[in-house]
Amino acid sequence: MRTAPPAAGPALVQGRGPLSEAVVTSLLSGLPPEDVEAAVDAADPWGDDLQLALYLLYELHYRGFDGVDDDREWDPELLRLRKRMEDRFLNSLRAELSDAPRTVDEAFAPLLLEPVDLSDSLSHQLQTTGELWQLREYAALRSLYHLKEADPHAWVIPRLTGRAKAAMVAIEYDEFGAGRADRVHARLFADLMTDLDLDPTYGRYLDQAPGPLLATVNLMSLFGLHRALRGALVGHFACVEVTSSPGSRRLAKAMRRCGAGAAAEHFYAEHVEADAVHEQVVRHEVIDGLLCDEPGVAADVAFGCAATVLLEDRLATHIRTAWARKRSALRTPLPRH
């Protein structure tokens, strides 16, 4: 029996330090990574080196990389290394959130009301004073998330039952276009990128993505790949859905104000309505259904929400700081538009 030839995945990028360089070398050579234990222990858990190395290993569970054997997805040495990095990442998250809410109601209460002061809101900044080059940078950054939107959350489906599973599948059905390939949200984001004269190829801007962005994508992969973190994944998903509609409304206005194009505006306009509905379903059916079945995961749901807020705030701070200094939020600027 012959297996199908591997599909070409995105291009593998260069490492950004001893840890990610060891991972890249291992993926290309087919050999186990060498001398990485000390590198993991020495790496900044929030920094580019560890976050890129973790992203590369997670990507083996999505589309892999061009020139990397598909069998490396389950390479025991790579999995052992990934576990060590995950522990650094997860322990750092828990330490940062040691004072975070432990109940679902406390975690989500601040997210249910639109803040009066939006001065720290990146979407508000883009809506009011954002320029087209900033919208293009924002889209390039977010492409690593949105071009795999809903994929990691699908891992939680076989880990749910009853109300929670039925509601989660209903939301994911919408995310995946309700049966229409041209309506898949990842496809809509690719159309947005085309309107902004960006390359919509999956993984195209990985080499330009800074550590704070990689961490936001790694978070949902971390939660999605571990059954023990199913509550945290539901918390992450719920946090995204609860906060999406107001931010999407502002971003749709930003796209329209800057003349970004119909598809660019449509992606966010679609999320204003869809995610307003999803918010109610995820809170009252997915979370409530999960907690009826498994009340013991309530703290994990709260943790998933708090971790999402933490990393999104870190990313927003990185972007605002770069733009305030009149420089790119990407590792290398986009070509002039």
Q: How much is the average pLDDT of 256-265?
A: 94
pLDDT at 1 over 80: no
Name the DSSP class of 207.
G
Nearest to 130 by CA among 311, 312, 239, 264: 264
Q: How much is the average pLDDT of 296-314?
A: 97
Exposed (0-12), middle (13-18) or buried (19+): which is 20, by Cβ within 10 Å? buried
Cα Rg of the chain, angstroms: 20
Q: Report the C-alpha gap between 235 and 309 in whole angstroms.
A: 11
> Cβ(186)–Cβ(146) under 8 Å?
yes
Give the pTM.
0.95
The most distant pair of C-alpha atoms in the chain lies apart, rounded to whole Å, by 63
Q: How much is the average pLDDT of 237-257?
A: 93
Nearest to 196 by CA among 126, 262, 269, 271: 262
> Cβ(88)–Cβ(222) under 8 Å?
no
Q: What is the structure's pLDDT at 279?
A: 84
Helices (H), the chain: 18-29, 37-42, 48-59, 76-96, 104-108, 122-128, 132-146, 162-175, 185-195, 211-225, 230-257, 262-281, 288-293, 298-324
Q: Which of these ranges, 25-34, 199-208, 241-250, has the smallest mean pLDDT?
A: 241-250
| Coil/strand/helix, residue 196 | coil
Nearest to 10 by CA among 58, 79, 82: 58
Contacts 24+ apart (CB under 8 A), 66-71: 66/8, 66/9, 66/10, 66/11, 66/12, 67/12, 67/28, 68/9, 68/12, 68/27, 68/28, 69/6, 69/30, 70/6
The pLDDT mean for the chain works out to: 93
Q: What is the pLDDT of residues 86-144, one digit of tens each?
A: 999 999 999 999 999 999 999 999 998 777 567 789 999 999 999 999 999 999 999 99
Q: What is the structure's pLDDT at 173?
A: 94
Name the DSSP class of 205.
T
pLDDT band at 2 (very low <50, low <70, confident <90, very high): very low
List the domain boundaries for the chain.
18-96, 104-324
Angle at 270 between CA 264 and CA 272, to 5 degrees: 110
Q: What is the structure's pLDDT at 6?
A: 53
pLDDT at 249 over 90: yes
Q: What is the pLDDT of residues 60-69, one digit of tens each?
A: 999 999 999 9
Q: What is the structure's pLDDT at 278?
A: 82
Give the tokens for residue 334: 């986009």
What single-letter amino acid sits at 184?
Answer: V
Q: How much is the average pLDDT of 42-50?
A: 97
Cα 170 to chain centroid distance, Å, stands at 21
Please give the CATH topology (third level) of the domain spanning 104-324: Heme Oxygenase; Chain A (1.20.910)
> Cβ(282)–Cβ(241) under 8 Å?
yes
Q: What is the structure's pLDDT at 7?
A: 58
Q: Report the C-alpha gap between 167 and 227 in whole angstroms.
A: 19
pLDDT at 169 over 90: yes
Q: How much is the average pLDDT of 145-156?
A: 94
Q: What is the structure's pLDDT at 234?
A: 97
Q: Report the C-alpha gap between 261 and 198 in whole angstroms.
A: 12
